[in-house]
Amino acid sequence: MDKKTVIVTGIGGNVGQGIIRNIQATGFPITVIGTNISDFSSGNHLCDLFYKVPYAEDKNYLSTLNDIIQKHNVDLVIPATDFEVFYLSQQKEELLADVVVSTHDTSAIYLDKFLTFEHLNRHSIPFASAHLPSKFNNEFSNVILKPRKGRGSRGLHINPKDLSGFDDMEYMVQELIFGTEITTAFYVNKKKKLHGFITFERTLENGMTTHCKVVDTYDDQLLTILDSLIVVSNIKGSANLQAIVNKDGEIKPFEINCRISGTNSIRSNFGFKDVLYTLEEWLYGKQPSSPKIKKGVATRVLMDVIYNEITDFNDAKDKSASHYLY
């Protein structure tokens, strides 16, 4: 297998760090270059090389990435944040390496939760009902006010008393549905076919999965939703659907992410290896391996990366700096 070089962005977060660990687990001869908006994070120790880059919306973001691509003969870029997916899908033709993104129109729709609602509602695909703040007339007894564009779980307001201070361009009001939260990762191959999916029931803290359990209870409903979603979208590669299962057992999606999501490091251990599929198809031009889903539960723990004898963060740029996990 040929030696390749891959950029993984957003390595300060759990998505990017999970992608790198999954790349390393394949055993493929891949050099991983990590990027982030800050010089040092908990992801630096995973990277063969590291570069600081501007925010995706910055005018120098593309040129900075292209400089790295040229310097290291990069074969593939895997973005780990929503905004990088959006901007790189827009600038794909100017990027000097292939990049794992959906088409720009699809990336734009799923970056914006209100556009997502409007798009799926037009096609009669289930999604939690939503309104712009100025148009909301108490249609729901319980609401969640959230930023239209991805900020993790920041900026959420449950049943706010006054919506007058929230701009329609920035926020939306969504029906707050009570029930069991699930997250479904799915992979769409280059033939625009569903390659497979896995679903977790999960609990969260600060927007991140802490405990999760593999379930197949909802597979029939989800298969119908995902097949319908793929027909009306140009999703490429891995994506993620978040939903609530209500008291009647109905699945109500409330968010879709067009990128590899944060549980990638967990689900690969339960037989859904979407990072592997990405490498096989996008990097090596092969048919992706078949998912082999296993039952199980998982939890996340906090660990420390220790750099002995290093006196400055700037000296801990990548895995070449002596370190250990504790």
Q: What is the pLDDT of residues 294-320, one digit of tens each?
A: 999 999 998 999 999 899 999 999 999
| Dihedral pair phi/psi, residue 7, rounded to 5° | -95, 130
Residue 144 CA to residue 178 CA, distance in Å, equals 11
Rounded to two decimals, what is the model's pTM?
Answer: 0.95
Q: Which residues pair with 183 in a beta bridge?
A: 200, 242
Q: Which residues pair with 243 in a beta bridge?
A: 182, 253
Q: For position 152, what pLDDT does the model report?
A: 60
Q: Which residues of the chain have pLDDT under 70?
A: 150-153, 206-207
Q: For position 195, what pLDDT does the model report?
A: 98
Q: For position 153, what pLDDT does the model report?
A: 63
Contacts of 274 (CB under 8 A, 6+ apart): 185, 187, 237, 238, 260, 264, 267, 268
Helix, strand counts (H, E) of the chain: 8, 17
Query: What structural domains does the chain harbor?
Result: 4-102 (3.40.50.20), 129-175 (no CATH)
Residue 208 CA to residue 303 CA, distance in Å, equals 16
Query: Hey, is 300 helix, strand or coil?
Result: coil
